[in-house]
Amino acid sequence: MTCASCVARVERALSKVAGVQQVSVNLATESARVFVLPDEQALARLGRAVREAGYEPRPADTALLSQTSSRWAGFAPVALGLALSTPLLLPMLLAALPQGVLPPLAGELALPAWLQCLLATPVQFVLGARFYRAAWYALRAGNGNMDLLVALGTSAAWALSMWLWLSAPAEAMVHLYFESSALVISLVRLGKWLESSAKQQMTATVRALHSLRPSTSHWLGPDGEVDLPSSELLRDDRVAVKPGERFPADGVVLEGQSEVDESMLTGEARPVPKEKGSGLTGGSINGYGRIVMRVTALGSQSTLSRMIRLMEDAQAVKAPIQALVDQVSSIFVPVVLGLALITLAAWWLSGHPFELSLVNAVSVLVIACPCALGLATPAAIMVGTGVAAKHGILIKDAQALELAHRVDTIAFDKTGTLSQGQASLLGTYPEGGLTEPEILRLAASLQVGSEHPLAAAVLRASKRRGLHAVAAGDLKAFPGRGTQGCIDGQTYQLASMRWVLELGVRPGTWSALAEQLQSQGATVSALLCQTPSGYQLLALLAFGDEAKPGAIEALAALRLRGLKTVMISGDNRGAALAMGLKLGFRPEAGEIVSEVLPSEKAAVIRSLMSAKHIVAMVGDGINDAPALVAADVGLAIGNGTDVAMHAAGITLMRGDIALVAAAIDVSSRTVRKIRQNLFWAFVYNLAGIPLAAFGLLNPVLAGAAMAMSSVSILANALMLKRWKP
């Protein structure tokens, strides 16, 4: 594809295919993202629609991986065009020198008409054949594009030159315009080659992620270690990874210990210690020790594949600001054709020679090609998402990227986001004559299989005491309240204090103790036993949590940017207040919201948005997903759950709250580049068309300016690659 009009044509062609619900075509990546109803022939129909629109369909992964890293790939036709065109330009350049420098040579070096025709014709009809093909498909589809403008303009210059040459008297010296037709085609092809080189840099991050998969793995089978292609690995295979090698898939450590470089995936420069039971991510680099791993995820289910998929989605989807460009592009080529005809008529009817009138019209056609308009937005988004991913910020939604810099309020989930999420059991307080081991055994049996942080704390404490927890029978979970199960024929509950009151447990000596523990910032649960006369409280369990390293400093940095921060917690008021004050939240300003059920978090976000705030939500758990979707911008912590990552528009690949400010910063810089690119693209056309129409720009300069406008916009976007958090 060559310009924004191509985008519109491909989108129209794909939209007409039966079953297609949504289409988004990206000029910078020359790719389409299509939502289509399930159908065995859908892919074939889409490919045929692309082909009939005048383009060559290729699978996205094949197209990406087939891109060559050679710097000079595709330059041969450009070099040939420049070699044939330069002799045509030389006399014009010499004629422009001041008088007295080389006066005789300028006339002597003027090439004979037959030689000019011999040099220009192969450029026009061989190297320029691609413009004719694309122009024909555009006309057949009932619209225009850059290729149509170039084909019309250069054909007019070539035809005018032929007419002037063949109609002139013998031996007469006439000024021909072969150099205009040949040089415009050569310069446009040079510009497209430079664009292609720039696009290679834009997709470098995705290509680098693809290359992280090692081709061979050391599979441990019944006969020992065997080298197999990584594509043949199966789930639960045992694989050896030697120092310095990449892990072939996601897995867990079975034997050995080492440090792993995960910087390409998370942006974390420091190696991460790994030991038995630690999780491993495919594509990361093993450090000093040999590790035996068990494969847990392969192919499309692996972390690396999900990263690549999310990045490609972000780069394929259009940002909302692109809608304006699409509207302009849809009418741009017809308007330019109209302006070129007006220019031709105005010059000719005002008494100027027809050849001069036609040359000025050609200049209008060439200068107005809408390449830069189509590249302005996707180029900036590609570079912005690529450099963000390099530093551990995975942006899967172009709308989130465009909106993040406008955020004025950021809401944080507490547990696992601001706090470690590794709650510890601080103590057990018997109320019914049970010993601590008995309390732990009952509580652990009620928590087997639960992923809640407090459940994990109970299970860790029981394991440290050497207690064996057997899952309770008829186990039921009550979100935001607790769990219930049957142990030794008796029904027990491990309940939040809120559920204790709802169950009608009579206050007793435990009430004052619970209030005291909560006032100290602890989260308190109660172990209950269901009896014929009601619920009996057997013990209190107190849990505590710590703030994540760097969370206090990261929140302070956000406040320095003028952002309002809010903490949302399901904990009781005392526990939430203790942690909130430690993190610098101001309860008097409504920045601490406590005792919020999972289903109520989204309502809190909507209430903030109803006050005319642009709200971002930062969370990591399944229960944060509705709030992440409800917020203007959702940011998921990458070490959290898959549900949260899918619900959010931005994923922070490591649990570092400082990346929230970095995500806002990269959004701001990317949007700034988009606006700069669009400004210069519009200004370029608004200034260039009048200059060409008034005869102040010849076709050669117009072609050079048109080619360089796209290159300059890509170069401006590529400056984003220097960004660092």
Give catalytic residues, as residue numbers: 413
Give the chain's count of helices (H) and strands (E): 27, 24
**72: which residues sit within 8 A by CB, 6+ positions away?**
none
Mapped to the 3 state alphabet, what secondary structure does 482-539 carry? EEEEEECCEEEEEEEHHHHHHCCCCCCHHHHHHHHHHHCCCEEEEEEEEECCEEEEEE
Cα angle vertex 653, ends 650, 655, to 5°? Answer: 105
Buried b (16+ CB within 10 A) or exposed e, 269-293: eebbebeeebebbbbbbbbebebbb
Query: What DSSP string runs through 59-121?
Result: -HHHHHHT----TTTT-HHHHHHHHHHHHHHHHHHHHTSPTTSSHHHHHHTPPPHHHHHHHHH
Cα 413 to Cα 477, 547, 597, 603: the distances in Å are 21, 12, 12, 14
Question: What is the bridge-based pairing of β-strands 291-297 and 250-255?
Answer: antiparallel
Give the end-to-end CA distance of the chain in Å, rounded to a whole number. 34
Q: How far apart are CA 656 and CA 200, in angstroms?
A: 31
Q: How far apart are CA 178 and CA 161, in angstroms?
A: 6
Element (H, E) at 216: strand 216-221
8-state DSSP, 721: G
Cα 167 to Cα 172, 455, 524: the distances in Å are 10, 94, 100
Tell me which residue of 666, 613, 660, 609 sits closest to 636, measured CA to CA.
Answer: 660
Cβ atoms of 311 and 385 within 8 Å: the answer is: yes
Cβ atoms of 692 and 700 within 8 Å: the answer is: no
Q: How far apart are CA 261 and CA 266, in angstroms?
A: 9
**122: which residues sit within 8 A by CB, 6+ positions away?**
84
Residue found under tokens 């109320």: 431
The helix-helix angle for 354-367 and 699-718 (nearest 10°) equals 10
Return phi, psi of residue 219, to 5°. -80, 135
Token duo for residue 178? 């072969």
Determine whether 511 is exposed, middle or buried from the number of CB atoms within 10 Å of its CB (0-12, 13-18, 19+).
middle
Side-chain half-sphere exposure of 189, counting CA atoms within 13 A: 25
Cα 352 to Cα 344, 691, 701: the distances in Å are 10, 17, 21
Residue found under tokens 């080619």: 707
Q: How far apart are CA 58 and CA 43, in angstroms?
A: 11
Residue found under tokens 């793995």: 217
